[in-house]
Amino acid sequence: MILQVAKRTWNIRLDREIENKNFGQGGVVISQRRFDLKDYTKTILLFIAAVAFGVAVFFMCAEYSISENSQDTVRATVTRQSEHLRSMMELHYQYLQIVADQIGETDDIISDENMKMIANLHEYTDLELSAIIEPDGTSHYDNGTEKNVAHRSYFQEAMEGKQALSDPLESSVDQETRVVLSVPIKRDEVVVGVLGASYNVTALSRLMFNDTFGGVGYSLIVTQDGEIIAYDGEPSYHKISYGDNFFEFYSDKKIMENISLLDVQKDFNEGKSGLFRMRDAQGKRASEQYLSYVPLGMNNWMICYMLPLSAALQPYRFFTTYEVFFIIGFCILVVILFVCILKKNSQKNRELLKASQMDALTGLYNKKVTEERINEVLLEQPEAMHAFLILDLDRFKEVNDGYGHAAGDAVLREFAGLLRNYFRENDVIGRIGGDEFVVLMKNVDSKDSVRNRTGSLVQKIGELEFSDMPEHITSSIGIAFAPKQGDCYMDLYKAADGALYETKRRGRNGYTVSLQMCELKEEKTE
C-alpha cells in the first residue's frame, strides 16, 4: 500500500516535471519566434533606412554630377564656338591666299584685272573693303579709295610673309570699326605686296553659331585687355555694346568661386581657359550665371560664353523638383519591389545601355555614341573612303517659335525617319545637337556618287509634309571625305562644318563639299 502511494506520488511528480519541461520548450519556441520576428523587422527597417540613405546619397551625387555635366556642356559650347570661329576665319584666309597667289603671278599687282578680282571677294565670303597694298604701304581699295597704311601692324606683319589679323580699328575709308585680315603677295618667294580685307565687327559676330539654349546664352569675342569686339546675342536684352570693357561690364557681379576678376584677367593675359559662376551683387540666386572662356588662338583674343544657371540645369530640373517625393515613394515601395528589381535587373541594364546610346526623341545615336562609332569605323578601315555629312535644318528656330515645340519635335522625328530609311543599315546616323545631324556613309564608291545621293536627299527633304504646319522644311549640308580630309571624327567635323557654313552663306537648301587646303587651287567649292 505504501509502495503504491509512493509510486503514484513519484508518477505525479514526474508528470509535472515533464509538463513543466514541455512548457519550457514551448516557451523557448515562442520566444524564439518573437525574437525572429523582431530581428526580421529590424532588418527590414535597417534595409529601408539603408535604401533611403543610399537614395539620398544618390541624389546628392546626382546633383553634383548634374552640376559637373552642366559645366561640361558650357565648356564644350565655348570650345566648339572657338573651333568654329577659327575654322571660318581660316577658310577666309585660304580664299585670300588663293587670290594673293594669283595676283603674285601677274607683272602689275594693281592691274585693273586684279582690282576687279578683289572686288568680287565679298561674293564668296563675309569679307568687305578689300585692298591691294604696295610695298610702300599705298593701299588700293576695291571702291577706288587710296590710303597709306604703312604704319599698320597687319601690313608690316604681312610684308614679313605672315598672315595677320588686326585688333579692332576705325577704318579711315568708311569710318566703321573693322578687323583686317592680311596675307602676303609673293612672286618667286619674294613678298611684293599685301592683300587685305576686313570684317565689320557686326559681320564678325555673324560668324559665330547661334546659341543652343534658345537664345538665353550668348558668346563674346574679347581682346586681351577686355574690349568686346564681337557679340552674337541681342545687345538690347543683355545691355552689351561693341567696345564695352568686359571686366568693367561684369565688375558688379559676385563670383561664387574663390576667384576674382583679377584672376580672370590674369587668365586672359596668359591665354588660359576657365569657368566660374556669378550672380548679381545683391546675391539673388535666380541671377546666377555660368561664364566660360577659352583662347581663340588668334591675336590673343578670348571667346567667352555666358549662360544662366537655370538654363544649364533645365534638362535636369525634375531631379531638384521631385527628389523628396521620389525618396518617400521609393522607401514605401522598396520592400514590395525588391524581388521584382532582382528579377528585372538584367533586363533593366540592357535597356539602360540601349537608352544611353540613343537619342530619346529621334531614336538615332546620340552625340557621344555617334562620335565613338565613327571613330571605330575610321580605325578599322583607315584606307577606305567614307563620306562624312553634317545636316542642319534651315531656320528650325522659326518652326519652334511659330508652331510650338511639339511641332518642332515632330519635324525632328520625321527628318530622322527619312535619314534612317534613306541611308544604308550599316551607315552611322546620329543626332548631335538640337537640329544638327551627322551621317557617315561607309565605303563609298566615289565622290560623285555621294554628291548625287546628297542632292537626291535634299530634294526628298523638301518634299516632307507635316500636318501641324503648311510649310516645307529644307536642310543645309556639309560634306567631308575620309581619310583625305581627316582620319578622326573631329577633323572630319571641322571640315564638314566649314562646308555647312558655306551652304548657309549661299542661301541654304543645298550641300557643299569641303576642300582640303592643298586642293583649293584645283577645285572650287560646289
The string of pLDDT tens digits covering residues 95-146 is: 889 889 999 899 899 888 888 888 887 777 778 888 999 999 999 988 888 9
Cβ burial of 63 (10 Å; 0-12, 13-18, 19+) is middle
Contact 500, 433 (CB under 8 A): no
Give the model's pLDDT for residue 235: 57
Give the model's pLDDT for residue 344: 60
pLDDT at 356 over 90: no
Query: Where does the pLDDT of residue 9 fall: very low under 50, low under 70, confident under 90, or very high at 90 and above?
Result: very low
pLDDT at 176 over 60: yes
- Cα-to-chain-centroid distance, residue 126: 24
Q: Of the spans 244-248, 388-392, 518-522, which averages the highest pLDDT?
A: 388-392
Give the model's pLDDT for residue 350: 65
Give the model's pLDDT for residue 349: 59
Query: Where does the pLDDT of residue 5 fall: very low under 50, low under 70, confident under 90, or very high at 90 and above?
Result: very low
pLDDT at 495 over 90: yes
Contact 487, 378 (CB under 8 A): yes
Average pLDDT over residues 382-408: 92
The model's pLDDT over 299-316, given as tens digits with 9 standing for 90+, comes to 888 888 887 777 776 666
* Strands of 287-370, DSSP E: 289-295, 302-308
Give the model's pLDDT for residue 392: 94
Lowest mean pLDDT among 21-25, 165-169, 341-345: 21-25
Give the model's pLDDT for residue 432: 92
Q: Name the average pLDDT for the chain.
A: 79
Ordered structural domains, the chain, with CATH: 105-204 (3.30.450.20), 367-519 (3.30.70.270)
11 vs 219 pLDDT, higher one: 219
Lowest mean pLDDT among 8-22, 77-91, 511-525: 8-22
Give the model's pLDDT for residue 348: 63
Could you give the percent of the chain with pLDDT greater than 70? 75
Query: Where does the pLDDT of residue 447 fall: very low under 50, low under 70, confident under 90, or very high at 90 and above?
Result: very high
Query: Where does the pLDDT of residue 14 fall: very low under 50, low under 70, confident under 90, or very high at 90 and above?
Result: very low
The model's pLDDT over 250-293, given as tens digits with 9 standing for 90+, comes to 877 777 777 788 888 888 888 888 888 887 766 666 678 888 88
Average pLDDT over residues 163-179: 80
pLDDT at 320 over 80: no
pLDDT at 346 over 60: no
* Strands of 142-255, DSSP E: 146-148, 164-165, 169-170, 177-187, 190-200, 218-222, 228-231, 253-255
What phi and psi, each to the nearest 5 degrees, are found at residue 63? -65, -40
The answer for residues whose C-beta is within 8 angstroms of residue 419's C-beta and 6 or more apart is 364, 391, 429, 437, 439
Query: Where does the pLDDT of residue 33 fall: very low under 50, low under 70, confident under 90, or very high at 90 and above?
Result: very low
Cβ burial of 479 (10 Å; 0-12, 13-18, 19+) is buried
CA distance 136 to 385: 49
Average pLDDT over residues 189-204: 84
Give the model's pLDDT for residue 440: 97
The model's pLDDT over 201-252, given as tens digits with 9 standing for 90+, comes to 777 777 776 666 666 777 888 888 888 887 776 655 556 777 788 888 887 7
CA distance 100 to 190: 13
> What's the chain's length in residues?
526
pLDDT at 11 over 90: no
The model's pLDDT over 80-108, given as tens digits with 9 standing for 90+, comes to 888 888 888 888 888 889 889 999 899 89
CA distance 274 to 293: 5
Average pLDDT over residues 55-77: 74
Query: Where does the pLDDT of residue 347 fall: very low under 50, low under 70, confident under 90, or very high at 90 and above?
Result: low
Query: Where does the pLDDT of residue 4 fall: very low under 50, low under 70, confident under 90, or very high at 90 and above?
Result: very low
Give the model's pLDDT for residue 499: 94
